[in-house]
């Protein structure tokens, strides 16, 4: 059996009891290491599980799936994924490859940011489409996510913004030279995401005469290390959150739409700013 096991969001102990049993008895244990991270590294997991773990990077999962799936017709192979196994398309691909090879699979689910974001107090069923904010560089500065946020706002829905992760990326120089030297991993902060959004707001303002649905003074919620002991949640305005440091990765940003009184009450727990509280107070209807 090929097991896809969610690890949840915090540390080694966020695995489920069922997941841990499989890990302890499986023939091989892989850890997917490029779509997300825990607050602890491979070594901490190995110590807690009492097992050796094989790191599976994007290359391995996408091009060496046969190696990965080997023996799983007759033995248990465990593939660990931070969050829930179905957070990324490559895992779906792995399931399809398993089935093509006549291998049965089982999924052991866990929390992912897609549901744990409820920790900020906004109701999950009031969220619209989830968007991704990617790192801008000198030549590539996409802004289509702004319109998607506004689409959600128009219908009163909240938006979860997943922030870019760059792991095992090569510099253009090394890529061209064919050198497999990788840049240090980069995880987008709430501050950077807000900065990019602020720049889009400025551009839109110069282009459009209409009032903008998402602007400098819009309420937003930054979250960091959701599910970990040092989880941080910060309610602020878009322009102010640029200067908030929420600490280490991973970060996500939420743009609330129409809020129920209970949702407003919750957001107030996560700010000390009189301005922000006043703004929230004006939103009770």
Residues forming the site for its own copies (CB under 8 A)? 6, 8-18, 20-21, 84-87, 89, 92-93, 95-96, 99, 107-112, 114-116, 118-119, 121, 123-132, 151, 155, 157, 162, 226-227, 260, 262-263, 265-266, 269
**d(C-alpha 271, C-alpha 276), whole Å:** 7
Closest approach, Cβ 162 to its own copies, in A, equals 8
* Smallest distance, its own copies to C-beta of residue 14, A: 5
DSSP 8-state code for residue 31: E
164, 134 contact by CB (below 8 A): yes
Give bridge partners of residue 48 from the DSSP assignment: none
If the CB atoms of residues 239 and 260 are measured against its own copies, the closer one turns out to be 260
Closest CB 131 distance from its own copies, rounded Å: 8
Q: Do 110 and 15 form a contact (C-beta atoms < 8 A)?
A: yes
Nearer residue to its own copies within complex by CB, 17 or 172: 17
14 alpha-carbon distance from chain centroid: 16
> Of 47 and 129, which has the nearer Cβ to its own copies?
129
55 contact partners, CB below 8 Å, separation of at least 6: 30, 31, 33, 42
Structure tokens at 200: 């889009």
Q: Which is nearer to its own copies, 162 or 234 (CB)?
A: 162
Q: How far is the CB of 80 from its own copies (least distance, A)?
A: 14
């Amino acid at each position: 059996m090929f097991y896809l096991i969610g690890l949840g969001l915090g540390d080694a102990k966020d695995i489920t009891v069922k997941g841990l049993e499989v890990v302890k008895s499986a023939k091989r244990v892989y850890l997917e290491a490029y779509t997300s991270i825990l607050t602890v590294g491979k070594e901490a997991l190995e110590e807690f599980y009492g097992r050796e773990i094989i790191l599976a990077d994007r290359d391995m999962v996408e091009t060496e799936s046969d190696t990965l799936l080997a023996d799983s017709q007759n033995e248990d192979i465990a593939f660990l994924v931070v969050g829930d196994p179905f957070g990324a398309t490559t895992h779906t691909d792995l399931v399809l490859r398993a089935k093509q090879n006549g291998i049965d699979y089982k999924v052991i689910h866990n929390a992912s940011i897609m549901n744990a974001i409820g920790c900020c107090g906004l109701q999950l069923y009031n969220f619209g489409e989830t968007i991704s904010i990617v790192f801008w560089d000198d030549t590539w500065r996409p802004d289509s996510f702004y319109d998607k946020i506004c689409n959600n706002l128009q219908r009163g829905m909240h938006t979860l913004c997943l922030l870019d992760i760059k792991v095992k990326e090569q510099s253009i120089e090394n890529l061209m030279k064919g050198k497999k030297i990788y840049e240090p991993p980069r995880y987008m902060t709430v501050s950077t995401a807000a900065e990019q959004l602020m720049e889009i707001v400025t551009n839109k303002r110069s282009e459009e005469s209409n009032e903008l649905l998402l602007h400098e003074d819009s309420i937003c919620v930054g979250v960091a290390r959701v599910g970990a002991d040092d989880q941080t949640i910060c309610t602020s305005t878009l322009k102010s959150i640029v200067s908030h440091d929420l600490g280490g990765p991973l970060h996500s940003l939420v743009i609330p739409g129409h809020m129920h009184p209970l949702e407003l009450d919750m957001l107030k727990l996560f700010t000390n700013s009189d301005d922000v509280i006043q703004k929230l107070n004006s939103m009770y209807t």
